[in-house]
Amino acid sequence: MSHVTRLALPPLLIALCMAPPLAQASGSVEVQWIDSEKYSDAGRNRFDRERALTQLAVLIQGMGRLLPDGQTLKLEVTDLDLAGELRPWHGQELRVMRGGADWPRMSLRYTLSAGGQTLRSGQAQLSDLNYLWRPLTQELGYEKRMLEQWVVQSIASASAGARSLQ
């Protein structure tokens, strides 16, 4: 049996995500984390998992800027494996990124809709095997880049008036 894990976002993050766009109209992105406690690697404990999923939810919702006005992309994430591997270090765990078999991965179901009609739907397996070839310093930056590339290549490019990454 599957259940949906809902995370409580801090009020400021909710306000920022729901604020009307300043410069141009865009679509919206909604995300649900399905059975997140069973993910391959979303953090070392419940606190880390909730923190990572909250940050990713904000990043994902911000990708609405890549969609034309009036379109909604609904994502159901069924598995997540963050970039790197957790390694013990002085009684703690550090996320070590070596560029081996530790690339970011995500499994999801999606539905793109507009005006009450489904434009596109399916399942996707996202991964970025070359994630360290373009280093980032932003936390969860590899996962964000992987998701943005998928939205641009697989979703927004199929929509009229798709916007390119900024």
Largest CA distance in the chain: 54
Q: Which of 11, 17, 15 is nearest to 30 (CA)?
A: 17
pLDDT of the residue at 1: 44
- pTM for the model stands at 0.69
pLDDT of the residue at 117: 95
pLDDT at position 97 over 90? no
- Residues 6 or more apart whose CB falls under 8 angstroms from that of 118 comprise 111, 112
The residue that leads in pLDDT, 8 or 69, is 69
Q: What percent of the chain has pLDDT over 70?
A: 69
The two three-digit tokens of residue 135, written as one number: 């280093």
The answer to whether the CB of 33 falls within 8 A of the CB of 78 is: no
Mean pLDDT over all residues of the chain? 78
Mean pLDDT value of segment 40-64: 90
pLDDT at position 54 over 70? yes
pLDDT at position 45 over 70? yes
pLDDT of the residue at 15: 46
